[in-house]
Amino acid sequence: MKNNADKTYKVFINESCHGELVLSPMAVEWLKQHDFEYRVKPDKEPWEYLDGDSCPIPRHHPLLVECIETLGEKAAGQIDGSLVQLVIKEITGPYYWIGNEGMGEYVIDKTVMQDARSPLKKNVII
């Protein structure tokens, strides 16, 4: 098993009051140009999941993170006419959970939590 003690991981969240993954058309085009691959259903193209509707794409997906880092705020889509605020957060381990209290998302680094039975294990980077 790999030793990940000194490794950090990048995860993006939406810090605006609408906590959903919504990318701009420019970001979707960027992903297409970079051969983005992520299929949950065979009949859907990968970018069809990027509309904020219960997106199953992991927030740590390296190409999504690179897209947001490259385009900055131009990667952000809109909900109800307002731009979402996509932010990259670094965590210290490969397990995390994203929560939303109605005022934007936050990420909990599973590595700093003690209870291994926690449901936070559902988001795994490695």
Backbone torsion region of residue 104, taken as left when φ is above 0, otherwise alpha when ψ lies between -120 and 50, otherwise beta: left
* Any domain includes 1: no
* Any domain includes 19: yes
Whole domain around residue 120: which residue ranges?
9-124
Q: What percent of the chain has pLDDT over 70?
A: 67
Report d(CA 10, CA 67) in Å as an integer: 12
The per-residue pLDDT for range 35-63, each reduced to its tens digit, is 887 766 777 666 666 654 456 778 888 99
* Any domain includes 2: no
Tally of domains in the chain = 1
* Any domain includes 4: no
pLDDT at 1 over 70: no
pTM of this structure: 0.74
The predicted pLDDT at position 71 comes to 95
Lowest mean pLDDT across 15-19, 81-85, 120-124: 120-124
Please, what is the Cα angle at 35 between 27 and 77, to 5 degrees?
15
